[in-house]
Copies of this chain bind each other. A is one copy, B any other.
Amino acid sequence: MPDNRRFLLRRRPDGTPVREDFELVTEPTPELAEGEFLIRNHYASLDPAMRGWMDAEGNYMPPIPLDAPVRASTIGVVEESRAEGFAPGQWVMGLNAIEDYSIGVAGGFAQPIDPSLVPSVTNYLSIFGAVGMTAYFGFLEVCEPKEGETVLVTGAAGAVGSIVGQLAKIRGCRAIGIAGGPEKCARLVERYGFDAAIDYRGKDEAALTRAIAEAAPDGVDVIFENVGGIILDAGLMNLNLKGRVGLCGLISEYNTEPRGIRNLWQLIVKRADIRGLLVADYVPRFGEGAAKMGEWVAAGKIVTDEHVDEGIENTFDSFMRLFAGSNQGKMILKIA
């Protein structure tokens, strides 16, 4: 059996993760027990939520144990099998870890996928995976957008945000995106079809509040929130009566002592609400969402981008792109 390179969590990050919190080790590939199969991981999804799994408290998932490999969604190929229904050569996706080889079990998280159905097998980690389904169910169902409403998307150039903006246009809404830097802002309008883009860089809360007011002179009906901090506070100041905030993430607060949200009183003034959303609730309906997404992709109504970095040895740098915002599209690590 070949060696198994594994990217281990050695220490729980204190704030921003540092290289020394992790270690890439080489271990023997494990032997299979009855009912198990060996997955050769080809691609791993790198997501902001993984930062939360590294903390001791856990959230909707148990914490990653120390000295265990970092948990991640991966896609790969069955290399060896002692489980029915998972023959060698079968592509699978599942919640595994950043390592060359993972063990799958029949009836577990890994499910077969068919690369011939999608332009690139990596699409199962983006538009047809958790990212696309977060946008689909999180925006269309949790935020209840209506035709003619104004939708503000934060982290709009990110994997989820860029899809939400396009869904807003499909629903007949005005879409405004917030992103970092002129290049991303140009991409929002030119590639994803947002009606307006706001560059948050160099803006304090008051300047952000004004910029949103200029882009949304009639106010904002829906905020799809990925960021938190002053960006959410500025959004809240522009919320319309009965506005809805779909809370998908708070990436600005994952690595630092949170600044806190200070304009919650706007929820009272506007009789508005903030609704937490988690894609895990919609797993039984992924088929429905993926089918609809597939139609829109085929019709050219939704475009997506993937940012693929290569090499398990580059995991740390690739993961940290998510917080620096230096990825352009869904962050994916090519392992093999």
Q: Chain A: residues with CB nearer than 8 A to chain B?
A: 52, 59-60, 228, 247-250, 253, 258-262, 264-278, 281
Contact = CB atoms under 8 A, between A and B. Distances in A.
Nearest to A274: B274
Nearest to A61: B269
* A-B complex: 10 closest residue pairs judged by Cβ atoms: A260-B260, A267-B276, A258-B262, A268-B276, A273-B275, A260-B262, A59-B269, A274-B274, A261-B261, A60-B269
Contact of A247 (B59, B264, B278): B264
A249 B270 CA distance: 13
Contacts of A260: 258-262
Contact of A276 (B248, B258, B261, B273): B273
Contact of A271 (B264, B268, B276): B276
B273 A268 contact: no
Max chain B Cβ within 10 angstroms of own Cβ: one of A253, A266, A275:
A275
A261 B268 CA distance: 15
Given A258-B262, A260-B258, A260-B259, A272 B276 contact: yes
A48 B247 CA distance: 29
Nearest to A275: B273
